[in-house]
Structure formats: structure tokens, C-alpha cells
Structure 1
Amino acid sequence: MSGFTNKLVAVTGASGFVGRNLVKRLRLDGAKVLELSRASGFDILSDQANLEGVTHVFHIAGLTGIPHAWKEPVAFFETNALGTMRILEQCRLANCPMTFLSAYIYGAPQFLPITEQHPVVANNPYGFSKRVAEDACTFYVQNYGLRCVSLRLFNTYGPGQSSDFLLPFIVEQVLDDSREAIEVQDLEPRRDYVFVDDVVDAIVSAQSAAPGSVFNIGSGVTYSVEEVIQLTLRAAGRQKPYRAMGEKRKNEVNCVQADISALQQATGWRPRTSLADGIRKLIENAGRP
């Protein structure tokens, strides 16, 4: 149970992967949810949100996907950075607290695990747009007194996620009997994967933190792409060869691991779903809308 029972809250990006999972959780907790998304006809760059009576805004809307960001850096900046500025201003005028979700802003790690004090050196257009957006949040906290918390997500996954992302892409290939082998760009990169239910729990729990707080949300454990494939094959009871296509992404980061102790100490939150259990849930839900 959260502190939003019988309260009206708004979620931007409510039709997206994290957004719709958050909406589901908030409604289970008894909140009334105003959904602001492209699916509901809301344009973050031109529309004014009606925040009358809204007690909290969860700002999740934005363009995602690093390969797409390299192709359309201006669109990503406009939506993710300028769009966040617009939501911040609307929250300021309505005196409404806000939670902002960020990701991929650290760039190549200078040390592991990555704490919130790690230098922020975004090395792709998506991360850059999110860094500017997070800076805007900090500015509004420091200069307007806006109550805002920023959450830095690591690699979120779960049922219903697009196969544009690695884990559902691997599950799809493992379960596809017409495919003789699993093909990925690179077997070596290590990432910190966190299940979407744990992310939603973290988002809700972070509301008890002080305004201006910044927290990592991850699992604290890192896995290579090859290890993810092996876990998926084991969970599915399949045997298939796998191979790298030798297509390394621009500015690829070799290893990412979150230090999640700050959020744990501030709120008591901790991830509950191991990667093996999360992959089993992906397999169980494969093919469902």
C-alpha cells in the first residue's frame, strides 16, 4: 500500500512499458490516475496538462532507444529535455510534486558499482537528453522550491516489453522453433537488469525521500549478454547455438552495475526478483499482449 490511496495522481507516458505498469500498481493501491500519453491524445510538446486536484506527477514520457537516438538526436532532445521542462513548469504553476525517471546518463563507468556521485558524462543522444532533463529538475528544486525526486533507472525489463530491447529479443529467439541459432550484436557487454515490478516498487517508495534526492534503481548485479542467453535457454528447457554478429554499437559501454544502497537506506526498498526468475516470467508471458 502506498500513500496515494484515494488521491489523484498523473502519469505521463502512461501507455509506455514502465508507465502502464506504474498505472496498474497505483490503481491497485487505490489511487485515481490521470493518464497523459500519446495514446490518450496528450502531446508533451504542445499540450497543457490539467493538474487541478492532482497531488503528484510521475513524469515517465519520453523517446527511448539508443540506436534511434543516434538517428534523431534533435527529436530526442526536444521530447526528453524540453518536454521535461514543460512538465516541470506545469508542476510549478500547480504546486504539484513530481517524480522524474532518467537513464543512461553516466556514460562509460569510471568505477563500479556506480553510485549517484559518479560523474555524469552521457555518451549518446538519449543519455544526453535525459541528463539535461535531470539538470532542469535540479534547477527547479533549487530555485523554485519544487518538490521533485529523480530516479536513474538501469536496464528495466519485464512482460510486455518491446523486442527492441535485449531480454525480450533473446526470449523471442529462444522460443522461435524456426530459428536455428540465437543472434545478437555482441556477447560481452554486461548490464544491470532490474524487473519492472521492482522498478515500480522503487518509484512508489521513493516518494518518502527528500525533495532533490537522486537515486539509482537497479539490481546491483551485472550479467553479460552471453550469460543472459544461457539463463534463458535453461529456463526454457531449450538447446540452441548462439553467436555474436560482430556489430558493436557506437560508444558501447562494456560493464554497468548500479550501487542501489542509497535508495535502500532511504526507503527500505530492495529488488525482489532475480534475473533467473524474471526471465521465467518473460517466458511464461511470451506472446501475450
Structure 2
Amino acid sequence: MKKVIVTGSSGFIGKALTKKLYELNYEVIKLNSKTGDISDFSTFSKFDFTDINHIYHLAGKTFVPDSWENPLEFYKINAEGTLNILELCRKYKIELTYISAYVYGHQDFMPISEDVVVRPNNPYAHSKYIAEQLCEFYAYEYGVKVSVIRPFNVFGVGQNEKFLIPHIIKQALLEDNIKVKDLTPKRDYIYIDDLIDAIILTKHSKNNYNVYNIGSGYSISVKEIIDVVQEILDISKPINCENSFRINEISDVVANISRANLELNWFPQYSFIDGIREILKYEKEKYNGEV
């Protein structure tokens, strides 16, 4: 049986990845906050890495607003934690797939390719980009085979309610109106199942160092998200917008996914509407009589 490690296995993406790997008959060692702090190398002393052939590294701090309040924790976990994972890969000759983030910041042209100048615009993105630079160094200087996934805005069943789409859906199902901070920002959304497929396909990457955008190739505004949710639910609740703006807010984001198309033979299978329908089916069952 193929044996792999998933760090961050208890997170939104980690749970979905672990489930899919089990379905594909992998033996999965799960590392998460309960097993220890990845920024402390001694955490790994309890594990045997001799027969591991791949690590999927997702563990990290993820919520952008929190990164402004506590940047030190983000750099410690996201950068130093990734360095520790790379050291394991170097020592035991393990291949790595690193799940990064949208690190591009403000860009003048869309869609955004992997080759543009990266301009992280918040501590979270900057900490992830530092981790990418470590991955690149270990790939070229130590021969560790690394694939970096840059997901754009991931959504799907089981995502934390502090993120935009589950926040909107909960209000659409349970509240009298829908409250958001800003209706205008547009993002490229990718459904969780499509992201998981791309992550698993990186095992077949040919180069020693690979970077892939994973998105849909089109963007949707906050207002359009609300419209899609209300249309599927056949409702028309009032929308209250605070007209407040996040620090360094980006107005629009679209991914160029041609490299993943070409090198991984990966293409999104879910449209945005398909993904919202899947979430709504699950959420309506969860809330049951409350809806």
C-alpha cells in the first residue's frame, strides 16, 4: 500500500484530501495541531519516515484578517513549519506537494500566470511566499522534488463559517437579511473537489520544481455570489452592505490555469453554480427544520 503524510489533516482542505486518498487506497499518516507544532522539529521524532514516498503539506495559519493582528504566528507556522517539512524531505528523500495560497497581490493584468512578479499584500500571503522560496531552494540545491499549488479562492462543503461563502449561505438559510462588508470585490473561486484532484495529480509532475495556479479562470463578485445563492434557494432577502474595506483590498482576481491544464491534464469539473448547489444540499440537511 502507498504511504503518504498529510499535514494539516484536520483542516478544510486536509480533511477532503485525506478522504480522497483513502478512497484511492493510500495509507495516510495524519499530522495536525493535535499531534504537535510543526514549527518545532522535535514534533516529528515520534514518527517513522523511512517508508513515506510523499508529503502533502497543508498545515498552517490561514485567515487573512488574523495575519494582520498576529503576523509573528503566521511566519512561525507557515515559513518555519515548511522549512521543517523540507528538512524531512531532504533527509528521507521524500517528494513534497506544498499547498501555498494567492501570493500575487495587486496585478495590472488578468488572468494572472505563475510567471508574474509576486507581490504579497498581507502577512499571510507573504509567509506563504517565503515558504515557497524555501521549497524552491531545497528543490534546486538539495534535489527535493517539490510541487507548489497556488489555490485561488477555495470553497466547498465543510468550510468554516468565518469565510465569505459559508457566511452568506448561513444567512440566506437562517436570517431575515444578508449582511456583508463589501459587495464589489471579485475573486476566482475553485471548488474543493477540483482542488483535491489537482493536488493528487502533482505526484505525476515531471520537473523537480513546479508551481501551479489552481482556479476556475473567471471571477465572481460578492454581489453575484449572493444572487446565485438566492436564485438557487428561490428567495429574495434584503442585502445590507457596510461598505467597509479590508486593508490592501484587491478589486479583482482571475487565475491563468493553462500550466495545470497542460502539465497535469487538470481541468475544473465544477462550475461555480454546481459548487454552490452541492454546499446548499449539505447545509439544508444540516439545518433541517431550521430552514
Indicate the TM-score class for this superposition, using the shorter chain for normalisation. Answer: over 0.9
Residues 41-89 of structure 1: CA distance to partner in whole angstroms, max 9, x if unpaired? 2320221253121110000000011000000000000000010001100
Which of 18, 21, 24 is residue 19 of structure 2 equivalent to?
Answer: 24
Mapped to 1, the partners of 2:83 and 2:157 lie a distance apart of 31
The alignment status of 1:184 with 2:180, answered yes or no, reads yes
Query: What 5-or-longer segments of structure 2 have no aligned partner?
Result: none
Mapped to 2, the partners of 1:280 and 1:137 lie a distance apart of 37
Q: Tell me the equivalent position of 1:3.
A: none
Mapped to 1, the partners of 2:16 and 2:36 lie a distance apart of 19
- Cα distance, 1:37 vs structure 2: 0.6
Q: Tell me the equivalent position of 1:77.
A: 75
Contact 2:140 2:208 in 1 (8 A): no
Mapped to 2, the partners of 1:171 and 1:104 lie a distance apart of 23
- Cα distance, 1:180 vs structure 2: 2.1
Alignment TM-score, normalising by the size of structure 1: 0.95
Which of 145, 167, 171 is residue 143 of structure 2 equivalent to?
Answer: 145
Mapped to 1, the partners of 2:48 and 2:148 lie a distance apart of 22
Which of 241, 244, 247 is residue 244 of structure 2 equivalent to?
Answer: 247
- Cα distance, 1:181 vs structure 2: 1.5
Contact 2:179 2:241 in 1 (8 A): yes
Residues 233-287 of structure 1: CA distance to partner in whole angstroms, max 9, x if unpaired? 0111211011311110000000000000100001211000111111111111116
The alignment status of 1:7 with 2:2, answered yes or no, reads yes
Residues 82-116 of structure 1: CA distance to partner in whole angstroms, max 9, x if unpaired? 10001100111011000001112100122100000
- Mapping for residues 187-226 of structure 1, pairs under 5 Å: 187-209=183-205, 210-226=207-223
Q: Secondary structure at the match of 1:15?
A: coil
Q: Secondary structure at the match of 2:100?
A: strand
- Mapping for residues 81-96 of structure 1, pairs under 5 Å: 81-96=79-94
Mapped to 1, the partners of 2:173 and 2:53 lie a distance apart of 44
Q: How many pairs does the alignment contain?
A: 281
Mapped to 1, the partners of 2:65 and 2:128 lie a distance apart of 15
Mapped to 1, the partners of 2:107 and 2:60 lie a distance apart of 24
- Cα distance, 1:144 vs structure 2: 0.3
Contact 2:214 2:255 in 1 (8 A): yes
Mapped to 1, the partners of 2:76 and 2:139 lie a distance apart of 21
Q: Tell me the equivalent position of 2:49.
A: 51
Contact 1:219 1:260 in 2 (8 A): yes
Q: Tell me the equivalent position of 1:33.
A: 28
Moved over 6 A (4+): none
Contact 2:190 2:215 in 1 (8 A): yes
Q: Tell me the equivalent position of 2:264.
A: 267
Of Structure 1 and Structure 2, the greater helix share is in 2
- Cα distance, 1:211 vs structure 2: 1.9
Mapped to 1, the partners of 2:154 and 2:14 lie a distance apart of 12
What is the identity, as a one-letter code, of the residue corresponding to 1:221? Y
Which of 36, 40, 62 is residue 42 of structure 1 equivalent to?
Answer: 36
Q: Secondary structure at the match of 1:173?
A: helix
- Cα distance, 1:137 vs structure 2: 0.1
Q: Percent identity at matched positions? A: 39
Contact 2:61 2:74 in 1 (8 A): yes
Contact 2:99 2:150 in 1 (8 A): yes
Q: Tell me the equivalent position of 1:235.
A: 232
Alignment TM-score, normalising by the size of structure 2: 0.94
